[in-house]
Structure 1
Amino acid sequence: MIPGAARAAAPAAPVASAVRVPRSGTPAPSRPAAPAAPGVPGVRAAARRASRQWVRAARATWRERGVASLEYLGMLPFLLLIALAGIQLGIAAYCGEQAGTAARAAARTAAEPDPHADAAQAGANAVSGWVNPSITFPRSDNLTVTATATVRIPSVLPGLSFLDPVSRSATMPREDTTP
């Protein structure tokens, strides 16, 4: 371009108008109409509707107060039943372990050379006091001694006994007493 020469006027850019023309060909406003001024019935009606909706929501919330507590109370018996079943299972496992301990202690004591203490009492002394095992010696020969301990499983719920007693056996070799 030559300096000092007048420039040709460029065509003017289209001016953005406040009216959009949709594809249907009818003009539509580019933004929603402004709300009516205060005191106009439309505004009061909208405020009343909003107030009623808030009151309805507050009533619904008020009616639902305590619903979670009632749901918890409904589930509480099932939760207690599951907890008691877990405790009962733990007691049954503990009684099985104590029966094994009593059988091993009784068989070990019975396998000692004469004179030895009462083997059944030694088995009962090896476990907790409330377990109270019943110890028998079903078979014994010159080489081994077998002791069987039976423990009754106490129930978590008094009066209900639905588990069979637990029995455990232990076999110990007799000590060699030959010189």
Structure 2
Amino acid sequence: MPATHRSREKCKKSDDRGQTVLEYVGVVPMLIVIGLLVVQLGLAAFAVQQAGTASRAAARMASYDNPDRTCQQAGHDALSSSLSGRASFDCQRGSDEVTVTAKVPIPSLIPGLLDGFEAKRRATMPIDRIDR
């Protein structure tokens, strides 16, 4: 009896050979994709945050009577250097307030995947009038 018991154990061990490798091959690509998606989501959140900051800075500068730079320059200065070159700002001055819309392209981990997607934020500031 002990001989048959050993042969069954031997057979079981040889059947399980390679199972771990197959599990890794199946799981690792999913983990990589999930990791890339998490990082991409972080990049999108960063672009949205930067667009909000830049629109407020541009609106603040445009609200002054005698600004030292344009609202576009102030917006670009407020952005991270990696996003500044491709951002655009639309400054609209009304009678009592200034509204600036900032559009910042969302960077992509995989080139060409998110082309055309952008973070858009709007800020409105009252015009700062100096009475003389």
**Is the counterpart of residue 76 in structure 1 residue 65 in structure 2?**
no
The answer to whether the Cα contact below 8 Å between 2:61 and 2:67 also exists between their aligned partners in 1 is no
1:96 to partner: Cα distance: 0.3
Residues 45-103 of structure 1: CA distance to partner in whole angstroms, max 9, x if unpaired? xxxx2222122212311331231221111122221111111111111111000000110
Say which of 100, 111, 114 aligns to 1:147: 100
**Is the counterpart of residue 90 in structure 1 residue 42 in structure 2?**
yes
The answer to whether the Cα contact below 8 Å between 2:64 and 2:129 also exists between their aligned partners in 1 is no
The answer to whether the Cα contact below 8 Å between 1:146 and 1:172 also exists between their aligned partners in 2 is yes
Say which of 74, 82, 88 aligns to 1:134: 88
CA distance in structure 1 between the partners assigned to 2:116 and 2:39 by the alignment: 13
**Is the counterpart of residue 173 in structure 1 residue 119 in structure 2?**
no
CA distance in structure 2 between the partners assigned to 1:149 and 1:162 by the alignment: 17
CA RMSD of aligned residues (A): 1.6
2:65 is aligned to 113
> Higher strand share goes to which structure?
2
TM-score normalized by the length of structure 1: 0.67
Say which of 111, 114, 117 aligns to 1:158: 111
Q: Which runs of 5+ in 2 are unaligned?
A: none
Length, aligned pairs only:
130
The answer to whether the Cα contact below 8 Å between 1:110 and 1:116 also exists between their aligned partners in 2 is no
CA distance in structure 2 between the partners assigned to 1:115 and 1:65 by the alignment: 73
Q: Which runs of 5+ in 1 are unaligned?
A: 1-48
1:115 to partner: Cα distance: 4.4
Structure 1 stretches of 4+ with a deviation exceeding 6 A read none
- Considering Cα pairs closer than 8 Å and 6+ residues apart, tell me whether 1 or 2 has the greater RCO: 2
> Higher helix share goes to which structure?
2
Indicate how the Cα distance of structure 1 residues 51 and 159 shifts in structure 2: closer, same or farther if over 3 A, else same. same
Structure number with bigger Rg? 1
